[in-house]
Amino acid sequence: MSEHLHWDPLLIQRYNRPGPRYTSYPTAVEFLPVESDQPEQDAYTQRDPNRPLSLYLHIPFCRHVCYYCGCNKIVTRDMDRALPYLDLLKQEIKAKHAMLKTADDGQLAPVEQLHLGGGTPTFLTDDQLRDLMDYLKALFRFSESDTADFSIEIDPRELRPGTLTLLREMGFNRVSYGVQDLNPKVQEAVNRVQPESMVRDVMSQARALGFRSINIDLIYGLPHQTLESFDATLSAIIELRPDRLSIFNYAHLPERFKPQRRINGDDLPPADEKLAILGRCITRLSEAGYHYVGMDHFALPEDELAVAQSRGELHRNFQGYTTHGNCDLLGFGISSISQIGDYYLQNRVTEATYAEALNADSLPTWKQRQVTTDDLIRRRVITELLCHLTLSYDQLDQEFTIESREYLADSLERLHPMRDDGLVDLTSNAIRITDKGRLLVRNACMAFDTYLQHHEQQRFSKAI
Give the whole-number percent of the chain exceeding pLDDT 90: 87
Q: What is the mean pLDDT of residues 85-111?
A: 96
- Percent of the chain at pLDDT above 70? 97
Concatenated DSSP letters of 128-158: HHHHHHHHHHHHS-B---TT-EEEEEE-GGG
- Residue 457 predicted with pLDDT over 70: no
The pLDDT-based confidence of 109 (bands split at 50, 70, 90) is very high
Q: What is the pLDDT of residue 320?
A: 87
Tell me what pLDDT residue 4 has: 67
Residues in the chain: 464
Angle at 88 between CA 51 and CA 73, to 5 degrees: 90
List % helix, strand, coil for the chain (3-state, nearest 5).
45, 20, 35
- 245-273 residue pLDDT tens: 999 999 999 999 999 999 999 999 998 89
The Cα diameter of the chain in Å comes to 62
Q: Is the pLDDT of residue 463 over 80?
A: no
Judge whether residue 366 has pLDDT over 70.
Answer: yes
- Beta strand 328-332 with 53-59 is parallel
Q: Is the dihedral of CA 278, 453, 413, 383 positive or negative?
A: positive
Q: What Å distances lie between residue 443 and 294, 310, 464, CA to CA?
A: 13, 23, 10
318, pLDDT greater than 90: no
Q: Whole-number mean pLDDT of the chain?
A: 94
Report whether pLDDT(204) > 50: yes
Lowest mean pLDDT segment, chosen from 67-71, 200-204, 211-215, 373-377:
67-71
pLDDT of residue 458: 47
Closest Cα to residue 247, out of 179, 188, 321, 301? 179
pLDDT mean over 309-322: 92
Q: What is the pLDDT of residue 3?
A: 58
**What mean pLDDT is predicted for residues 419-427?**
97
pLDDT confidence bin for 455, thresholds 50/70/90? low
User: What is the pLDDT, as a whole number, of residue 7?
Assistant: 80
Q: How many CB atoms lie within 10 A of CB 448?
A: 24
Q: What value does the mean pLDDT take over residues 113-136?
A: 97
Q: Which domains does the chain have, with CATH numbers?
A: 1-26+373-464 (1.10.10.920), 30-330 (3.80.30.20)
* pTM (predicted TM-score): 0.94
pLDDT grade, residue 456 (50/70/90)? low
Residue 158 pLDDT grade (very low, low, confident, very high; cuts 50, 70, 90)? very high
pLDDT value for 391: 97
Rounded to the nearest 5°, which phi and psi values hold at 194?
Answer: -145, 110
Please tell me the predicted confidence (pLDDT) of residue 459: 57
3-state DSSP call for residue 287? helix
pLDDT of residue 462: 64
460: confidence class by pLDDT, cuts 50, 70, 90: low
The CA radius of gyration of the chain, in Å to the nearest whole number, is 22
The pLDDT assigned to 390 comes to 96
Segment 426-440 shows an average pLDDT of: 95
Beta strands (DSSP E) in 213-347 are 213-220, 244-249, 291-294, 297-299, 315-317, 320-322, 328-332, 337-340, 343-347
Reported as a single tens digit per residue, the pLDDT across 29-64 is 999 999 899 999 999 999 999 999 999 999 999 999
pLDDT band for position 296 (cuts 50, 70, 90): confident
Under 8 Å between Cβ of 177 and 216:
yes
